[in-house]
Amino acid sequence: MKKGLIIATILFMLTPLLSACWNQKELTDLAFVMAMGIDKGKDKKFKLSFQLVNPGNVSAGQGSGGGQGLPIAVYRSTGDTITEAARNATKKVSRRLYYAHTNVVVVSEKVAKEDMLYILDGLDRDPEFRTTTIMVIARDCTAEEIVTTLTILDRLPVNKITKQLKASEAMLGENMSVNIDDFLAAAVSKGKQPFLNGYSLIGIKSKARKAENLQKTTTDAYLSSHGLAIFHDGKFRGWVDDDKARGIVWIQDKLKSTDISIPWNGKKRALVVAPIRSKTKVSVHFVNQKPQINVKIDSEGWISEANTAIDLNNPVIIGKIDKLVEKEINRQILNSVHAAQKLKSDIFGFGDKVHTANPDLWKKIQGNWDEEFASLKVNVTSDFYVRREGIRTLPFWSSMGN
**230-282 residue pLDDT tens:** 999 999 999 999 989 999 999 999 988 899 999 998 888 889 999 989 999 99
Percent of the chain with pLDDT over 90: 51
CATH of domain 257-402: 3.30.300.210
> 204 pLDDT band (50/70/90 cuts)?
confident
Backbone angles phi, psi at 139, to 5 degrees: -110, 125
Which of 351, 386, 184, 355 has its CA nearest to residue 273?
386
Is residue 146 predicted with pLDDT exceeding 60? yes
> Pick from 233, 195, 171, 201: which is nearest to 348 by CA?
195
pLDDT of residue 39: 95
> In the predicted model, is pLDDT for residue 217 greater than 80?
no
Q: Could you write out the DSSP letters of every residue in 258-304?
A: --EEEEETTEEEEEEEEEEEEEEEEEEEEETTEEEEEEEEEEEEEEE
Q: With CA atoms as reference, report the closest residue to 51 among 64, 67, 38, 69.
A: 38
Alpha carbons 274 and 300: distance in angstroms, whole number: 8
The structure's pTM equals 0.86
> What Cα–Cα distance (Å) separates residue 216 from each residue in 61, 89, 206, 220?
15, 33, 16, 9
Using DSSP, state whether 73 is helix, strand or coil: strand
Q: What is the mean pLDDT of the chain?
A: 86
Residue 277's nearest CA partner among 386, 168, 178 is 386
**359 vs 399 pLDDT, higher one:** 359
- pLDDT for res 60: 47
Query: Could you tell me the residue ranges of all domains in the chain?
Result: 25-240, 257-402
d(CA 246, CA 299): 15
Give me the mean pLDDT over the 145-163 stretch.
87
Using the predicted structure, report yes or no on whether residue 206 has a pLDDT greater than 50: yes
Choice among 134-143, 192-201, 303-312 with the minimum mean pLDDT: 303-312
> pLDDT tens for residues 5-54?
666 666 666 665 555 554 556 556 788 899 999 999 888 899 999 999 88
pLDDT surpassing 70 at residue 61: no
Q: Report yes or no: 336 and 248 within 8 Å, Cβ to Cβ.
A: yes
* pLDDT range class, residue 349, cuts 50, 70, 90: very high
Q: What is the pLDDT of residue 58?
A: 66
